[in-house]
Chains A and B, each alone.
Chain A
Amino acid sequence: MAHIELKNITKKFGGHTALIGLNLDIADGEFFVLLGETGAGKTTALRLIAGLEKPTEGQVFIDGVDVADWGAAERDVALVLQQYSLYPRYTVRQNLEFPLKPKIRRLPDAEIKDRVARAARTLRIEHLLDRKTDRLSGGEMQRVSIGRAIVRKPRVFLMDEPLSALDAKLREALRTELKNLQMQLGATFLFVTHDQIEAMSMGDKVGVLNHGRIVQTGTPHEIYNNPRDTYVASFVGSPPMNLIDGRLVNDRAVMAPVNFELPLTIGAKSFGGGRASGATDGRPLVFGIRPEDVYLESGAPVEARVHDVENHGVEKILTLRIGDTMLRATVPARTDVAIEQPVRFAWNPDKVVMFDKGSGVSLRHAG
């Protein structure tokens, strides 16, 4: 088990810069999720830790030791990839045994058997052990590839979108399994994904990566409720946070160009001293509100029309139209609405996040 630290990492591939000044600190035994869009540099960060790439600048520390000169083997990490990377032509058992059999660190046969059996039991692939890997389904292959990682008892588990190639049901099941596995092993996990649901549900900590830079690091709760900027706000959450341009007038949010206003709870605890960080009257802002904090009420201050209804079973996601502005609201499934029906809505003033219009940075983080 290990503590991992990336210090000021920059990685360039020719003219393309994949990572810029990346700092990461992953505590021992932590499930850290690196979240970002395709091409944000997630995989590069992972490969740098694994030792498959060398950083252009900066240092990688594993347990406080600079591992610049260490190859992948010496770093003692395990890597699980989206494309499984199972060794073809071998059975599941042979694949699981593979990392235990190189001559240099060959384990006694009994130990190998024991470890393979234990990994197979943990991942529930015991019945597949003597099957060839090309006869497995996607979920089974991914389990085997995770199994190949755990038999070795590595210091760190690195996972590069391991669930992305699986269908939805299986992805959900393996998500829970992986999280349980991590807790059971007490291991350090670095999990890379573009799926914010995976990040939210599995991570102890989440790092949001955008164009090679870490935008925000924090617990899923922090990331979700207190996004550092509009990028995080719109990337995390499904549907994403509503972002509406407006101004602050007399402690009320006045939206422009469409004219409607809503109350704010200035100085509330969740605001983190909004006033102090420059929430002054008239300043152009972006107001962020999660769809679940928008609610319909007959006496509510603003009128809108229902533009679209998406029924998700447990809830409905409404798209409300106010002039040209669209707003998402999550309402209970029993709410009876029809498209183009006029409704009145309000928001939870405690939950509003204000972002600077120019920089996109949240006023709570700016100070």
Chain B
Amino acid sequence: MASVALTNLDPASRAAARGWSDLTIRNLFIIPTLIFLIVFNIFPLIYSLGYSFTNFAANRAEPWQFVGLQNYRELLSDDHIWSNFVITAKYVIVSVAGQMIVGFGLALLLNRSFPMKGLITTLLLLPMMMSAAVVGLFWQLLYSPSWGPINYVFGLGDFAWLSNPDSALYAVAITDIWMWSPFVMLLSLAGLSAVPQHLYEAAAIDRAGWWYTFTRITLPLVSPILLIALIFRTMEAFKTFDIAYTMTTQPTAELIAIRLYKQAFQQWDTGKSCALAYIVLIMVLAITNLYVKYLNKVKER
């Protein structure tokens, strides 16, 4: 009777009167979540893996056939898909680099005491809390060529940010930087405030300048948490859909997630889009793995 031995229930409680044990109660809490996860996450994941080997189309009643690796073969030899990947890579690099620089910079500025620090920090966090679709729509207005405030402030005349094939992707990246820099800032702040003050004092006594202290003390101590921010942001940026989709229709800004969406819900090529989704998943996993490996190395140092 192992379950009896584990029980810590008050014998006078109602649960005990019903003959329940700790384990029964634990299971009552966990099982609904497990069911939810299995039904809505794990099952579709496995099911779509199955679909990716078929020519199934969700909008047709025709019987589908098993086609083996044909979907994967077609996708990987499709130049169009590759150009989507290149666009996504550019987007990830620009927006993640931007977020890291802006976010960490803000954190450095905020990592001291000044009046209304709490309020200012909270205000800076607001973009992160908005819905991406709303952010996309707002920035579409801000970028508006004829009356958008951005062109007005920078004196750019009627520069069409979102319908210019050269700038559309970067315009979306800037919006993403605006929205997600606060996230990097928040993590960096946590990292910075964990650096003990006495190390800075010791460095000041050792006559180290600002840059020397920053590169020799601050950066090495904050780098693990910066890497975590980098992992999160890279994964998210790779999957970006909503902002880009609401902001522009330029083919030069067609991220892999948008391509996937079109394939699945405009062309209704369900089997093939499942295969594409798996390709994306494997890529994201590979990149994250590299980061995590590096993170562990940094932590060991």
Answer yes or no: are A and B bound together in one complex.
Answer: yes
B149 within 8 A of A: no
B198 within 8 A of A: yes
A345 within 8 A of B: no
Q: Roughly how many angstroms separate A202 CA and B220 CA in the complex, as a whole number?
A: 38
Q: Roughly how many angstroms separate A78 CA and B202 CA in the complex, as a whole number?
A: 9
Q: Roughly how many angstroms separate A72 CA and B216 CA in the complex, as a whole number?
A: 18
Could you say which of B110-118, B155-163, B170-178, B206-214 contacts chain A?
B206-214
Q: Roughly how many angstroms separate A79 CA and B200 CA in the complex, as a whole number?
A: 12
Q: Roughly how many angstroms separate A228 CA and B209 CA in the complex, as a whole number?
A: 45
Task: Assess the A85–B198 pair: CB atoms within 8 A.
Answer: yes
B290 within 8 A of A: no
Q: Roughly how many angstroms separate A103 CA and B208 CA in the complex, as a whole number?
A: 9
Closest chain A CB from B202 CB (angstroms): 4
Name B's interface SS.
Answer: helix
Q: Roughly how many angstroms separate A230 CA and B33 CA in the complex, as a whole number?
A: 70
Task: Assess the B209–A102 pair: CB atoms within 8 A.
Answer: yes
Q: Mark A59-81, 1 if CB is under 8 A from B, else 0.
A: 00000000000011100111101
A295 within 8 A of B: no
Q: Roughly how many angstroms separate A105 CA and B198 CA in the complex, as a whole number?
A: 22
Task: Assess the B199–A105 pair: CB atoms within 8 A.
Answer: no
Task: Assess the B199–A52 pair: CB atoms within 8 A.
Answer: no
Contact of A152 with B212 at beta-carbon distance under 8 Å, contacts A81-B198, A83-B198 already known: no
Q: Name B204's contact: one of A73, A87, A88, A104 (CB within 8 Å).
A: A73
Q: Name A98's contact: one of B201, B208, B221, B301 (CB within 8 Å).
A: B208
B217 within 8 A of A: yes
Nearest neighbor of A160 in chain B, beta-carbon distance: B198
Nearest neighbor of B198 in chain A, beta-carbon distance: A85
Q: Name A72's contact: one of B196, B205, B212, B221 (CB within 8 Å).
A: B205
Instruction: Report B-chain residues with C-beta under 8 Å of the C-beta of A51.
Output: 204
Q: Roughly how many angstroms separate A276 CA and B198 CA in the complex, as a whole number?
A: 52
Task: Assess the B206–A98 pair: CB atoms within 8 A.
Answer: yes
Instruction: Report A-chain residues with C-beta under 8 Å of the C-beta of B208.
Output: 73, 98-99, 102
Q: Roughly how many angstroms separate A99 CA and B204 CA in the complex, as a whole number?
A: 10
Q: Roughly how many angstroms separate A152 CA and B205 CA in the complex, as a whole number?
A: 11
Residues of A in contact (CB 8 Å), total: 25
Q: Roughly how many angstroms separate A59 CA and B201 CA in the complex, as a whole number?
A: 21
A312 within 8 A of B: no
A269 within 8 A of B: no
Nearest neighbor of B195 in chain A, beta-carbon distance: A88
Contact of A81 with B207 at beta-carbon distance under 8 Å, contacts A87-B217, A89-B301, A98-B216 already known: no
Task: Assess the A52–B201 pair: CB atoms within 8 A.
Answer: yes
Task: Assess the B202–A73 pair: CB atoms within 8 A.
Answer: no
Number of A-B contacts (CB under 8 A): 61
Interface positions, chain A 43-57, Cβ under 8 Å from B, are: 50-52
Task: Assess the A103–B212 pair: CB atoms within 8 A.
Answer: yes
Instruction: Report A-chain residues with C-beta under 8 Å of the C-beta of B204.
Output: 51-52, 71-73
Q: Name A85's contact: one of B201, B209, B220, B301 (CB within 8 Å).
A: B201
Task: Assess the B205–A50 pair: CB atoms within 8 A.
Answer: yes
Instruction: Report A-chain residues with C-beta under 8 Å of the C-beta of B209.
Output: 102-104
Q: Roughly how many angstroms separate A99 CA and B205 CA in the complex, as a whole number?
A: 9
A148 within 8 A of B: yes
Contact of A105 with B201 at beta-carbon distance under 8 Å, contacts A87-B217, A89-B221, A89-B301 already known: no
Instruction: Report B-chain residues with C-beta under 8 Å of the C-beta of A98.
Output: 203, 206, 208, 216
Nearest neighbor of A101 in chain B, beta-carbon distance: B212
Nearest neighbor of A77 in chain B, beta-carbon distance: B205
Interface centre among B201, B203, B206, by most chain A C-beta atoms within 10 angstroms, is B206
Closest chain A CB from B194 CB (angstroms): 11
Closest chain A CB from B300 CB (angstroms): 10
Task: Assess the A76–B207 pair: CB atoms within 8 A.
Answer: yes
Instruction: Report A-chain residues with C-beta under 8 Å of the C-beta of B217.
Output: 87
Task: Assess the B205–A79 pair: CB atoms within 8 A.
Answer: yes
Nearest neighbor of B209 in chain A, beta-carbon distance: A102
Instruction: Report B-chain residues with C-beta under 8 Å of the C-beta of A148.
Output: 202, 206
Nearest neighbor of B221 in chain A, beta-carbon distance: A88
Instruction: Report B-chain residues with C-beta under 8 Å of the C-beta of A103.
Output: 209, 212
Closest chain A CB from B250 CB (angstroms): 46
Q: Roughly how many angstroms separate A85 CA and B198 CA in the complex, as a whole number?
A: 6
Nearest neighbor of B301 in chain A, beta-carbon distance: A89
Task: Assess the B207–A105 pair: CB atoms within 8 A.
Answer: yes
Q: Mark B180-206, 1 if CB is under 8 A from A, else 0.
A: 000000000000000010110111111
Q: Roughly how many angstroms separate A304 CA and B201 CA in the complex, as a whole number?
A: 55
Task: Assess the A85–B202 pair: CB atoms within 8 A.
Answer: yes
Nearest neighbor of B298 in chain A, beta-carbon distance: A89
Nearest neighbor of A151 in chain B, beta-carbon distance: B206
Task: Assess the A73–B207 pair: CB atoms within 8 A.
Answer: yes
Instruction: Report B-chain residues with C-beta under 8 Å of the C-beta of A78.
Output: 205
Instruction: Report A-chain residues with C-beta under 8 Å of the C-beta of B199.
Output: 85, 87-88
Instruction: Report B-chain residues with C-beta under 8 Å of the C-beta of A76.
Output: 207
Closest chain B CB from A281 CB (angstroms): 57
Q: Mark A87-102, 1 if CB is under 8 A from B, else 0.
A: 1110000000011011
Task: Assess the B207–A102 pair: CB atoms within 8 A.
Answer: yes
Task: Assess the B202–A79 pair: CB atoms within 8 A.
Answer: yes
Interface centre among B199, B204, B205, by most chain A C-beta atoms within 10 angstroms, is B205
Q: Roughly how many angstroms separate A138 CA and B77 CA in the complex, as a whole number?
A: 62
Q: Mark B113-130, 1 if CB is under 8 A from A, else 0.
A: 000000000000000000
Closest chain A CB from B1 CB (angstroms): 47
A-B residue pairs, 9 tightest by C-beta: A99-B206, A73-B207, A85-B202, A72-B204, A79-B205, A102-B212, A85-B198, A102-B208, A72-B205
| 13 intermolecular pairs with C-beta atoms under 8 Å apart | A51-B204, A72-B201, A72-B204, A73-B208, A79-B201, A89-B220, A98-B203, A98-B206, A99-B208, A104-B207, A104-B209, A148-B202, A152-B206
Given contacts A71-B204, A81-B202, 20 further A-B contacts (CB under 8 A): A51-B204, A52-B204, A72-B201, A72-B205, A73-B204, A78-B205, A79-B201, A81-B198, A85-B198, A87-B202, A87-B216, A88-B199, A89-B220, A89-B301, A99-B206, A101-B212, A102-B206, A102-B212, A104-B209, A148-B206
